[in-house]
Amino acid sequence: MLSGPDTERKPVTPPALHPTVDVRPADTRFTTSIGWLDSRHSFSFSNHWDAGNTHHGLLLVSNDDTVAPGSGFEIHPHRDMEIVTWVLSGSLVHQDSEGNHGVIYPGLAQRMSAGTGILHSEKNDAWRATGARPHDTPVHFIQMWVVPDEAGALPGYEQSEIPDEQLRSGLVPVASGMLKHEDSAAIRMRNRDAALYAARIEPGRELSVPDAPYVHLFVARGLVELEGVGVLGQGDAVRLTATGGQRLSALEPSEVLIWEMHSSID
């Protein structure tokens, strides 16, 4: 079982920020490979520790995970964390101690609020839940953690499907606690300063990156070009501070995940 930074960390708004663009190539990420799991960690996680790479804004974890069929994360605890899971291919079965269960697949947004404490498992064994025949397809997903506004809330769970045509129309608010997304986000999150967007971009299409104190852009798949930065491939990330609004265009069919954050944990 892998464990991450489940510790109480209170967001604060810094007095001043200097505009920076920090490009993080895919091959610089921490790596965990243990047979059934191939995981790439954008930030310090589990046994991987770098005091200079613990978070960006409110984002503490961004794990790029591939889990083999019939395997997965056995029951394990979390607390005081907003955990968002976005599946790129395959399917992932979620079960938790609050009685929530479901199969997560591409286009289905899921958020688990750990709150005062929750136990859950995540496995690539959807056939057990659906009665279908066993398969040999890995599940590939991105799991992201942000701190909540307040510690000690009750655990919670939410999931919602986002149509493919909507994801291809531009940036879609997948999970948000921001007031401006009160009626538009697929799922709500217990942080009023954070929002996660997703988009599927075809070649020749472009979109604008949010302008916020902290932005985290992750290329989940494909090849894109970011204004002022250049070409970014699958697994590459850019951490923007006190800057935004850049044009992002696709060079091939691509999928991106972008966090807009208006405070930080330091």
Q: What is the CATH number of the domain that holds 252?
A: 2.60.120.10
Q: Is residue 93 part of a domain?
A: yes
Summarised one tens digit per residue, pLDDT across range 45-82 is 999 999 999 999 999 999 999 999 989 999 999 999 99
Task: Give the angle subtended at the CA of 129 by the CAs of 87 and 187, to the nearest 5°.
Answer: 40
Q: In what order do the strands lie in the sheet with 118-123?
A: 72-78, 118-123, 92-96, 101-104
- The per-residue pLDDT for 102 is 87
Q: Is residue 1 part of a domain?
A: no
Phi (first) and psi of residue 234, to 5 degrees: -55, 130
Q: How confident is the model at residue 20 (pLDDT cuts 50, 70, 90)?
A: very high
Q: Is residue 84 part of a domain?
A: yes
Report in angstroms the alpha-carbon separations of 49 from 30, 52, 127, 196, 233.
9, 9, 36, 25, 25
Q: Is residue 5 part of a domain?
A: no
Q: How confident is the model at residue 159 (pLDDT cuts 50, 70, 90)?
A: very high
Q: Is residue 266 part of a domain?
A: no
Q: How confident is the model at residue 4 (pLDDT cuts 50, 70, 90)?
A: low
- The per-residue pLDDT for 16 is 76
Summarised one tens digit per residue, pLDDT across range 204-239 is 999 999 999 999 999 999 999 999 999 999 999 999
The residue written with tokens 């479901």 in the block is: 102
- Structural domain including 30 reads 20-261
**Residue type, position 72, single letter:** G
| In the predicted structure, residue 171 carries a pLDDT above the cut 60 | yes
Summarised one tens digit per residue, pLDDT across range 115-157 is 999 999 999 986 665 556 556 789 999 999 999 999 999 999 9
Q: How many domains in the chain?
A: 1
Q: Is residue 12 part of a domain?
A: no
| In the predicted structure, residue 43 carries a pLDDT above the cut 70 | yes
Per-residue exposure over 239-255, b if at least 16 CB sit within 10 Å of its own CB, e if not:
bbbebbebebebeeebb
Q: Is residue 41 part of a domain?
A: yes
